[in-house]
Amino acid sequence: MYHIEKKQPIAVFDSGVGGISVLRELKKIMPNEDFIYFGDSKNAPYGVKTKEEVRKLTIACATGLFDQGAKGLVVACNTATSAAVRVLREMYPYIPIVGIEPAVKPAVLCMDHPRVLVMATPMTIHEEKLHNLIAKYEDKATIIPLPCPGLMDFVERGDLDGEDLHRYLEDLLYSYRNNQIDAAVLGCTHYPFAREQIQRVLGDQVQIFDGGEGTAREMRRRLAEKGLLREEERRGNIVFQNSLADDTKIALCRRLLQIT
């Protein structure tokens, strides 16, 4: 049986560097905790793979993090969450495991019957989890799912304000500019790093939502419920790991964590 103590780190996992957008929220509300951040950049992108492939990769990464003694796991990847969070909870019922899902609810409730664009990877868009979420709010909003293949790659390269990204977004979002939508949901953890560019293309009147903060709060709640939060005042430590052997992804993770 897995032994859990307060002093063990919280693991955060993503297919690459995108989960840093969730780690920064975790760090804000639990600054005294230690974290291990693992990015599977070697196998990224997950969003264009099959559900079975993503499930296998996610289970392998999660198992590695539990072997290192994580006291909880944040699956900071919408794609991996829809493919594998249920099975992970069955495999490790005694460890708090929190996934992330597109922030459809706050976007739908931001005004009376808004037009909401949900941006996510092709796999997240096609998965049952998102279809169920959309069905739940269908009578309260017009919800438009938009697969964004290739968008995560800009972030994975650290290309956050170049002309190429701007052109890609102008093409992708062409039909939704000029007041065609009221809100946009960033349903992939890489996308918050392109938030300003997305806002620029869609226009200032569009409200943008992501699930990072809600996911961080849910992890804190789950740890508190099990008496696993650290109580002492201290500055937590973050260890970055990546399935690619070179250090460039780790350097990018550090850089992204500075961007708020």
Active site residues: 77, 188
When the beta carbons of 18 and 145 are compared against ligand DGL, the nearer one is 18
In the list 44, 65, 108, 208, the residue contacting ligand DGL (rule: CB under 6 A) is: 44
Q: Does 249 bind ligand DGL (CB under 6 A)?
A: no
Total residues contacting ligand DGL (rule CB under 6 A)? 17
Exposed (0-12), middle (13-18) or buried (19+): which is 106, by Cβ within 10 Å? middle
Q: Is 12 helix (H, G, I), strand (E, B) or coil?
A: strand
In the list 61, 188, 201, 253, the residue contacting ligand DGL (rule: CB under 6 A) is: 188
Distance CA 18, CA 152 (A): 8
Q: Which residues contact 166 (CB under 8 A, 6 or more apart)?
A: 197, 200, 201
Q: Does 61 bind ligand DGL (CB under 6 A)?
A: no
Under 8 Å between Cβ of 186 and 209: yes
Distance CA 194, CA 24 (A): 15
Q: Does 46 bind ligand DGL (CB under 6 A)?
A: yes
When the beta carbons of 114 and 211 are compared against ligand DGL, the nearer one is 211
CA angle 254, 259, 260 (to 5 degrees): 130
Q: Which stretch binds ligand DGL (CB under 6 A): 2-10, 83-91, 109-117, 187-195?
A: 187-195
When the beta carbons of 191 and 228 are compared against ligand DGL, the nearer one is 191
Tokens of 44: 């990224």
Q: Does 193 bind ligand DGL (CB under 6 A)?
A: no
Return the residues of window 72-131 that contact ligand DGL according to CB under 6 A.
77-79, 121, 124
Q: Does 189 bind ligand DGL (CB under 6 A)?
A: yes
Return the residues of window 145-164 that contact ligand DGL according to CB under 6 A.
152
Q: Which residues contact 73 (CB under 8 A, 6 or more apart)?
A: 10, 11, 12, 13, 62, 65, 66, 88, 92, 95, 96, 97, 98
Q: Name the residue with the smallest CB distance to ligand DGL.
A: 47
When the beta carbons of 207 and 215 are compared against ligand DGL, the nearer one is 215
* DSSP assigned state of 51: H
When the beta carbons of 103 and 229 are compared against ligand DGL, the nearer one is 103
Closest CA to 185 of 127, 214, 146, 132: 146
Which positions touch ligand DGL (CB under 6 A)? 14-16, 18, 44-47, 77-79, 121, 124, 152, 188-190
